[in-house]
Amino acid sequence: LPEPIRRVAILSTGEELVRGAIADTNAPYMAGLLRRLGANVVEVRQVGDGREAIAQAAAELAARCDLLLVTGGIGPTADDRTREAIADAAAVGVREEPAALAEVEAYFQRVGRTPSASNRQQARLPAGATVVRNPVGSAPGFSLTIGGALVVVLPGVPGEMRAMVAASVLPLVRARNLELGGETRLLQVVGLPESVVGERIDAWMRRREPPLVSVTVAAGCVTICAADTADAAGRSRLDECVAGMRTALGDHLFAEGDVTLAAHVVERLRALGRSVALAESCTGGLVAAALTDVPGSSDVFLESSVVYANEAKLRTLAVPEALLREHGAVSEAVARAMAEGVRRASGATFGVSTTGIAGPGGGTPEKPVGLVHFAVAGPGGVTHLGKRFPGDRAMVRSFAVTTALDLLRRALGCGPPPAPR
């Protein structure tokens, strides 16, 4: 039997990652998948596309872990140097691999294009490496062993990486006898600051023995993670800990498990046979984007009117001109009229509105940057909420999305959170 995989490291390569052009979304995607399989991800690194930097990081990480996932730098251009760097780390040469060439040629046949000379570079692999199929793009991946570590190299293009992890990497990992590192429970909380969550569950967070409890915060949602061993004793401790935290969190706990607030709201709407339409001003389509990110959301999400111009509010949502004149676009009265307007026009069960000042410009002493009004119109009437959020444009918009979804969740009647999954 091969060695079990206990410790996982991830290396993302590319100048764009150290230059700050884009966030590395590949590493968290892979970390999340492996974590759900029980692996312990101990470190993630990003380096540029220099051959020496990649080779050094790969050698260091391979010596510290059982599985190393590497992404990026196997495309067709001259700055794609990961093939050579990984070969350096493994102390082998690079050569054209017939199986890899067949993959490249099959890709171009599939898409009906002619491979360019540079695409042939993509068939070059470190000696002894095995091809990992790429069902989406032109660059095949590969795997090899460095020291005791299984090293798997994938393209940096997120859609290609994701398709390859699902099709090829997980089977590879499972074949290596992945050892379960423990059991994890997630509790999803909205509407409380991190410090208040921390105090409510303080007794569990201060424990030095399992279950170990940690919290993370993102855009107004707090995720609590409790981890213990996967045996009966660990599960029993987790059950007790989660039950206690449920009581402490009350209806701020919106779900258990790996579920976003948007996915939870879509699920609740579907379970209740309800639908929603949106009237978004300062959130500019982000609430719609969050809901439609959930596969199957078309069952419950009818439409969003992203109304930036006042004229659009008047026409699309039938907001009375007098309201706009008297109270201004960012006001409780207009938020209420927007929610009612989109509910009436769309025929949805619920209408949800946002109108606010995301900044950096547009603030006044009475209506400062960060002020957002929300309303939910439903069968039971209209609920309004006015909040002022701290931070910059992105932060205000992101808090506003969470708050709008939470207000809709509450209008749906929070109920008990769905069973863990």
Among 38, 128, 147, 198, contact with a second copy (rule: CB under 8 A)? 198
Measured from the CB atom, the residue of 144 and 376 that comes closer to a second copy is 376
Measured from the CB atom, the residue of 10 and 144 that comes closer to a second copy is 10
Among 71, 82, 168, 305, contact with a second copy (rule: CB under 8 A)? 305
In eight-state DSSP terms, residue 119 is: G
Cβ pair 149, 86 in contact under 8 A: no
Report the nearest approach of a second copy to the CB of residue 162 (Å): 6
Q: Spell out the alpha helix ranges (H) of 221-295.
A: 232-249, 261-272, 286-292
- Contact set for a second copy, span 2-21 (CB under 8 A): 14-21
Number of Cβ within a 10 Å radius of residue 279: 34
**In angstroms, rounded to a whole number, what is the distance separating the alpha carbons of residues 143 and 157?**
18
- Contact set for a second copy, span 273-302 (CB under 8 A): 277-278, 280, 284-289, 291-293, 295-298, 301-302
Question: Is residue 35 a contact residue for a second copy (CB under 8 A)?
Answer: yes
Size of the site for a second copy (CB under 8 A): 110
Question: Is residue 196 a contact residue for a second copy (CB under 8 A)?
Answer: yes
Q: Which positions from 360 to 379 touch a second copy by CB under 8 A, shown as an x/- string?
A: xx------------------
Question: Is residue 321 a contact residue for a second copy (CB under 8 A)?
Answer: no
Cβ pair 3, 150 in contact under 8 A: no
- Residue 372, φ and ψ in degrees, nearest 5: -135, 135
Question: Is residue 421 a contact residue for a second copy (CB under 8 A)?
Answer: no
Report the nearest approach of a second copy to the CB of residue 177 (Å): 22
DSSP codes, 43-83: EEEEE-S-HHHHHHHHHHHHHH-SEEEEES--SSSTT--HH
Report the nearest approach of a second copy to the CB of residue 45 (Å): 5
Report the nearest approach of a second copy to the CB of residue 420 (Å): 16
**In angstroms, rounded to a whole number, what is the distance separating the alpha carbons of residues 13 and 72?**
5
Measured from the CB atom, the residue of 59 and 197 that comes closer to a second copy is 197
Question: Is residue 195 a contact residue for a second copy (CB under 8 A)?
Answer: yes
Measured from the CB atom, the residue of 128 and 137 that comes closer to a second copy is 137
**In angstroms, rounded to a whole number, what is the distance separating the alpha carbons of residues 124 and 98?**
9
**In angstroms, rounded to a whole number, what is the distance separating the alpha carbons of residues 9 and 152?**
11
Question: Is residue 303 a contact residue for a second copy (CB under 8 A)?
Answer: yes
Measured from the CB atom, the residue of 118 and 177 that comes closer to a second copy is 118
Cα–chain-centroid distance for residue 123?
Answer: 32
Q: CA torsion, points 204, 207, 209, 213, in degrees to nearest 10? A: 40
Question: Is residue 387 a contact residue for a second copy (CB under 8 A)?
Answer: no
Those residues whose C-beta lies under 8 Å from the C-beta of residue 30, and which sit 6 or more positions away, are: 10, 69, 71, 161, 165
Report the nearest approach of a second copy to the CB of residue 128 (Å): 26
Measured from the CB atom, the residue of 118 and 127 that comes closer to a second copy is 118
- Contact set for a second copy, span 106-145 (CB under 8 A): 111, 116-119, 136-138
Q: Which positions from 203 to 232 touch a second copy by CB under 8 A, shown as an x/- string?
A: --xx------xxxxxx----x-x-------
Any bridge partners for residue 131, and if so which? 142
Q: What are the structure tokens assigned to 129, written together?
A: 């490496």
- Contact set for a second copy, span 67-106 (CB under 8 A): 75-79
Cβ pair 73, 14 in contact under 8 A: yes
**In angstroms, rounded to a whole number, what is the distance separating the alpha carbons of residues 43 and 11?**
9
Q: Is 363 helix (H, G, I), strand (E, B) or coil?
A: coil
Report the nearest approach of a second copy to the CB of residue 1 (Å): 27
Among 347, 380, 413, 415, contact with a second copy (rule: CB under 8 A)? 347
Measured from the CB atom, the residue of 27 and 335 that comes closer to a second copy is 27
Distances (CA, A) of 270 to 274, 293, 321, 385: 6, 15, 35, 25
Measured from the CB atom, the residue of 47 and 190 that comes closer to a second copy is 47
Measured from the CB atom, the residue of 284 and 328 that comes closer to a second copy is 284
